[in-house]
């Protein structure tokens, strides 16, 4: 007699109506016949097909059931008793499930928010941003999200497929209402078509005409309420740089999941006069963003080709140096666009992937615990199951019993998870910089997901122990010769290995991230950012009073030094100028350049490698001297640069000048930007009438009573530049901000790795409890035979520890692989220290051992008399 495989037998059990035992008999007979006549595999296949064909019968057959309600309540009662009896196991299950579920909820919210960016605009899929790739001289190209002012006129009438196009210059300025100035950091200068591209509901005014006249302005509801206390503000006046604008529209504020932030929209036609000439005329520059809305019939490739054609024809720019424009779908900008000049901090698709993967893994870990513990616990219930079988209980009734218990646990866990998620969401928002919230009763994804998980955990995880028990013979269960199968289950071993591999990967990764971050923190920037305050010189007028401000500031003894530069000392140098080392050289090379005050290097504590710094004694320095950093020396291909001539140019934002000078010094490389990037080559020169002005003030102060010093700085500012609000930031904080993403990454990884090891440990703790209970007698005999407690502990723990060791071997290379990838995002990075893996391994082993130790010790100390005497 050939029997079908166990899994098919179980399926058969479930699918045949209870009241028709003959049906199963027919199946088995047919299976035997087919298996002997043809082949087992064919018999298996046909059996499966037949089982499927029999399923509808279940809906037709009327089982003679005794009051299902009574059965359900009995099931519930038994479930409650069981759960209460095994308090520890219930607690571990519920705790593990609820914590991991609450994390899943939070991550789902986060991922959903990240994916929803800009989709709220009506017809968002038709909107694109035009971005460009610009030549930097030679083969160098730099990608930018911005375009020139001139792209719109270039294409708006001559390129097919365009429904509307708008420029957007996101900026901040001071607006005046009545006679009160307000710093407004989020506004935009845009074309009148702005709201044709970004379709947004208007509360007041008409979206299509609101920006038509140069003296119009449109504000969002929150701004209107902030300044006027009402959204009924049509016709009200506000002042920008002494010019009056009339409010002609109020729009619904852009939601937080928009890739830009702006509250006021000024028509570009009204502010154009303030733009420098080069913005209006320079075709190669990047000054603002250009967005388009496409028609229904539209091809991205065709459109990009058409722009290139326009660049060649209209601008007559045909060589390789011409800018190349391309389109970015609006909905992809937040996650996939990472240029140097984005409108804000964008998210990253990698983070979304990492988060989703972690959510799934954490959830899996909890499920594994659950399955492992329930199957282990079910061994104790052999007698219950056996007795029920003898009394005529059917497979399905038993299955239902186990599933009821699962449901109870799942519902409890889910409730706690929801509460946990609600409680932790403010912290999570702080960490992720979002404003998320949820309501499980109206939220289809969260609510639906919860239902699905409930059913999954209840039905599937509940079926696992039943599967084990139902395969065992009834007689075996009732007699004490209970040697249940699966006590050395391969499945369980595999699951434990999986759990601990995950823990090891996460812990090793966390340690590597920590290592890299402390490397960044400790690494010498080349300049000293401690107690330096950066103050933006907000207007040219203020910048021109630099000497006055400096002298005023230095009167305070707490101010150690004051210097200024055109480039913020914590940002990449953005101005590129052309240089020739040799006047006869044909092509000039572009090199990042910055203008500094005379004592800049001293104030920033930069080290000179050779030559001297700028000095007042050399009166020619202002117009002639150049200082290069080491990278620039290398970039320009100079050896022994001191005294060499360098022919460059300067630009005042409206006029170009030739500046032929001499290299007077080389400064040791220092980091303007983050350690993600290599140090840029930089050419420094002094500010003069022929250069751009200063944009930033660097004030080094003493560490005593910083708030007082800042107050005095503010007082000086008010006296010299009172028309603008005082703004400042600490340079060391600005430096640290470069690594915000890494800090966040670290925090999240730390949380996850702690959680994963906690879940793994909890699981192991629970498992050993059951395992040691099962081996009570064995331990008793061993003790009588003279085994010592350490020996017993070794015997009890060695099997589990082996699994953890295997997990190490699996986890290490995976962690190494992923973290090498992560580290490659840094130009300056650590080598992965192999000791990290050893430490991880030892820590995880130790934790695992401690989890096992508790129960091993307990069982080893039981008086063997007690454990052996039963019955």
Structure tokens belonging to residue 138: 């030679």
Nearer to another protein, 35 or 307 (CB): 35
| CB nearer to another protein: pick between 55 and 781 | 55
Nearer to another protein, 35 or 598 (CB): 35
Residue (21 or 426) nearer to another protein, CB: 21
What minimum distance in Å lies between the beta carbon of 48 and another protein?
Answer: 12
- Give the sign of the dihedral formed by CA 424, CA 456, CA 355, CA 499: positive
Tokens coding 388: 């029920």
The tokens of 65 are what? Answer: 């059931």
Contact yes or no for 59/16 (Cβ under 8 A)? no
* CA 81 from centre of chain: 44
Q: How many CB atoms lie within 10 A of CB 357?
A: 11
Cross-strand partners of 194 = none
Supply φ then ψ for residue 309, to 5 degrees.
-65, -40
Give 15 or 590: the residue with its C-beta nearer to another protein. Answer: 15
686: nearest Cα among 661, 714, 709, 668: 661
How many C-beta atoms surround the C-beta of residue 153 within 10 A?
12
Cα separation, 803 vs 494, whole angstroms: 8
3-state secondary structure of 209: coil
| Nearest CB to another protein, comparing residues 13 and 732 | 13
CB of residue 71 vs another protein: minimum separation in angstroms? 24
Please spell the DSSP secondary structure of 744-775, one letter per residue: HHHHHHHHHHHHHHHHHHHHHHHHHHHHHHHT
Closer of 3 and 125 to another protein (Cβ): 3
Residue (of 818, 850, 824, 822) closest to 837 by Cα position: 818
Spatial separation of the C-alpha atoms in residues 604 and 384, rounded to whole Å = 79
Q: What's the closest the beta carbon of residue 54 comes to another protein, in angstroms?
A: 5
Residue with the two structure tokens 């040791």: 668
- Six-digit token string for 824: 């490659």
CB of 32 to another protein, least distance (A): 8
Pairing verdict, β 216-220 and 645-651:
unpaired
Contact in structure between 559 and 576 (CB atoms under 8 Å): no
Could you tell me if 408 and 76 are in contact, meaning their C-beta atoms sit under 8 angstroms apart? yes
* Least distance from another protein to the Cβ atom of residue 837, Å: 53
Of 31 and 194, the one with the shorter C-beta distance to another protein is: 31
Which two tokens mark 655?
A: 């006029």
Strands 608-611 and 656-667: antiparallel
CA distance 575 to 685: 13
Q: Which one, 3 or 640, has the nearer CB to another protein?
A: 3
Cβ 96 to another protein shortest distance, Å:
39
Q: Give whichever of 49 and 309 is closer to another protein, judged by the CB atom.
A: 49
Nearer to another protein among residue 25 and residue 153 (C-beta):
25
Tell me whether residue 1 or residue 658 sits nearer to another protein (CB atom).
1
Tokens, residue 181: 């100035």
Residue 25: CB minimum distance to another protein, A? 3
Closer residue to another protein in complex, CB, 50/732? 50
**Distance of closest approach, residue 294 Cβ to another protein, in angstroms:** 54
CB of 62 to another protein, least distance (A): 9
Cβ atoms of 168 and 291 within 8 Å: the answer is yes
And the tokens for 390? Answer: 């003898």
Check the CA dihedral 384-388-394-400 and report its sign.
negative
Beta bridge partners of 697: 535, 564
Q: Measured from the CB of residue 388, what is the shortest distance to another protein in angstroms?
A: 19
Q: Which is nearer to another protein, 32 or 239 (CB)?
A: 32
Minimum gap (Å) between residue 29 Cβ and another protein: 5
Cβ proximity to another protein: between 54 and 368 the closer is 54
Rounded Cα distance between 698 and 535, Å, is 7
Collapsing DSSP states into helix, strand and coil, what is residue 648? strand
Which residue bears the tokens 């702005």?
194
Q: What is the smallest separation between the CB atom of 28 and another protein, expressed in angstroms?
A: 4
Q: Is 21 or 153 the residue whose CB approaches another protein more closely?
A: 21
- Nearest approach, Cβ of 467 to another protein (angstroms)? 18
Least distance in Å: CB of 34 to another protein?
11
CA angle 104, 107, 108 (to 5 degrees): 80
Nearest 5°: the CA angle 442, 447, 451 is 145
Rounded to a whole number of angstroms, the minimum distance from the CB of residue 13 to another protein is: 11
What is the smallest separation between the CB atom of 399 and another protein, expressed in angstroms?
19
Binding site for another protein (CB under 8 A): 1, 3, 20-30, 32, 49-50, 52-57, 60-61
Q: Are strands 532-536 and 729-730 parallel, antiparallel or unpaired?
A: antiparallel
Do residues 588 and 138 touch, judged by C-beta distance below 8 A?
no
Collapsing DSSP states into helix, strand and coil, what is residue 627?
A: strand
> Considering beta carbons, is residue 28 or 484 the nearer one to another protein?
28
**Least distance to another protein, CB of residue 60, Å:** 6
| Cα–Cα distances in angstroms (integers) from residue 283 to residues 314, 316, 514, 701, in the given order | 11, 11, 45, 43
Strand partners for 328 = 129
Q: Is 628 helix (H, G, I), strand (E, B) or coil?
A: strand
């Amino acid at each position: 007699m050939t029997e079908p495989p166990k899994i098919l037998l179980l399926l058969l059990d479930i699918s045949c109506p209870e009241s028709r035992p003959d049906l199963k008999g027919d199946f088995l007979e047919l299976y035997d016949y087919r298996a002997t006549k043809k082949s087992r595999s064919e018999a298996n296949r046909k059996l499966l097909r037949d089982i499927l064909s029999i399923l509808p019968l279940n809906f037709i057959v009327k089982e003679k059931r005794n009051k299902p309600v009574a059965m359900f309540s009995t099931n519930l009662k038994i479930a409650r008793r069981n759960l209460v009896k095994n308090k520890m196991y219930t607690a571990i299950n519920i705790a593990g499930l609820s914590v991991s579920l609450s994390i899943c909820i939070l991550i789902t919210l986060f991922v959903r928010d990240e994916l929803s960016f800009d989709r709220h605009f009506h017809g968002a899929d038709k909107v694109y941003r035009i971005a460009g790739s610009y030549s930097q001289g030679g083969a160098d190209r730099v990608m930018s999200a911005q375009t020139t002012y001139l792209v719109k006129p270039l294409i708006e009438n001559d390129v097919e497929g365009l429904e509307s196009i708008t420029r957007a210059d996101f900026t901040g300025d001071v607006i005046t209402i009545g006679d009160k100035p307000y710093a407004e950091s989020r506004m935009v200068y845009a074309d009148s078509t702005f709201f044709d591209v970004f379709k947004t509901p208007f509360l007041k005014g008409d979206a299509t005409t609101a920006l038509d006249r140069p003296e119009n302005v449109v504000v969002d509801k929150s701004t209107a309420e902030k300044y006027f206390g009402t959204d009924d503000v049509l016709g009200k006046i506000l002042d920008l740089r002494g010019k009056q604008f009339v409010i002609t529209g109020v729009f619904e504020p852009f939601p937080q999941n928009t890739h830009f932030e702006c509250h006021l929209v000024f028509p570009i036609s009204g502010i154009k006069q303030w733009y420098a000439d080069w913005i209006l005329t320079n075709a190669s520059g990047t000054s603002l963003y250009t967005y388009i809305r496409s028609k229904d019939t539209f091809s991205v490739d065709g459109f990009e080709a058409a722009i290139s054609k326009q660049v060649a024809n209209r601008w007559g720019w045909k060589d390789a140096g011409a800018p190349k424009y391309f389109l970015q779908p609006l909905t992809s900008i937040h996650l996939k666009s990472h240029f140097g000049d984005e409108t804000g901090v964008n998210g990253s698709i990698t983070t979304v992937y990492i988060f989703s993967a972690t959510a799934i893994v954490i959830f899996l870990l909890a499920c594994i615990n659950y399955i492992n513990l329930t199957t282990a616990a079910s061994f104790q219930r052999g007698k219950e199951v056996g007795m029920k079988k003898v009394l005529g209980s059917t497979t399905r009734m038993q299955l239902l019993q186990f599933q009821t218990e699962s449901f109870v646990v799942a519902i409890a866990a889910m409730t706690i998870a929801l509460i946990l998620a609600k409680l932790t969401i403010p912290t999570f928002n702080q960490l992720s910089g979002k404003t998320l919230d949820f309501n499980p009763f109206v939220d289809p994804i969260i609510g639906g997901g919860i239902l699905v998980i409930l059913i999954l955990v209840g039905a599937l995880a509940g079926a696992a122990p039943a599967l084990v028990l139902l395969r065992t013979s009834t007689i075996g269960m009732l007699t004490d010769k209970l040697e249940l199968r699966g006590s050395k289950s391969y499945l369980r071993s595999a699951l434990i290995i999986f759990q601990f591999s995950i823990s090891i990967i996460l812990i090793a990764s966390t340690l590597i991230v920590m290592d890299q971050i402390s490397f960044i923190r400790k690494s010498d920037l080349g300049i000293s950012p401690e107690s330096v305050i950066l103050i933006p010189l907000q207007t040219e007028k203020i910048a021109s009073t630099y000497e006055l401000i400096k002298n005023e500031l230095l009167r305070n003894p707490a101010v150690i030094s004051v210097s200024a530069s055109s480039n913020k000392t914590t940002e990449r140098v953005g101005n590129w100028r052309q240089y020739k080392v040799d006047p006869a050289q044909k092509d000039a090379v572009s090199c990042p350049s910055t203008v500094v005050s005379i004592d800049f290097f001293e104030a920033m504590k930069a080290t000179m490698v050779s030559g001297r710094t700028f000095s007042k004694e050399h009166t020619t320095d202002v117009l002639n001297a150049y200082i290069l950093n080491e990278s620039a020396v290398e970039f320009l291909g100079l050896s022994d640069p001191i005294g060499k001539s360098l022919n460059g140019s300067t630009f005042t934002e409206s006029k170009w000048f030739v500046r032929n000078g001499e290299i007077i010094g080389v400064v040791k490389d220092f980091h303007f930007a983050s350690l993600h990037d290599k140090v840029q080559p930089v050419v420094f020169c002094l500010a003069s009438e022929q250069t751009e002005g200063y944009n930033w003030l660097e004030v080094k102060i003493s560490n005593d009573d910083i708030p007082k010093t800042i107050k005095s700085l503010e007082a000086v500012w008010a006296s010299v530049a009172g028309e603008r609000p005082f703004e400042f930031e600490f340079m060391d904080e600005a430096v640290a901000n470069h690594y915000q993403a890494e800090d966040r990454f670290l925090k999240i990884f730390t949380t996850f790795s702690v959680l994963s090891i906690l879940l793994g440990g909890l699981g192991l703790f629970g498992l050993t409890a059951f395992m040691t209970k099962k081996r009570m007698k064995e331990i008793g005999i061993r003790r009588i035979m003279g085994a010592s407690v350490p020996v017993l502990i070794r015997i009890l723990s060695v099997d589990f520890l082996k699994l953890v060791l295997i997990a190490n071997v699996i986890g290490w290379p995976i962690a190494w692989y992923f973290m090498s990838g992560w580290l490659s995002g840094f130009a300056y990075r650590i080598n992965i220290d192999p000791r990290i893996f050893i430490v991880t391994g030892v820590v995880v082993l130790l934790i695992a051992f401690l989890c096992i130790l508790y129960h091993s010790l307990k069982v080893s100390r039981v008086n063997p008399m007690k454990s052996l005497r039963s019955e």
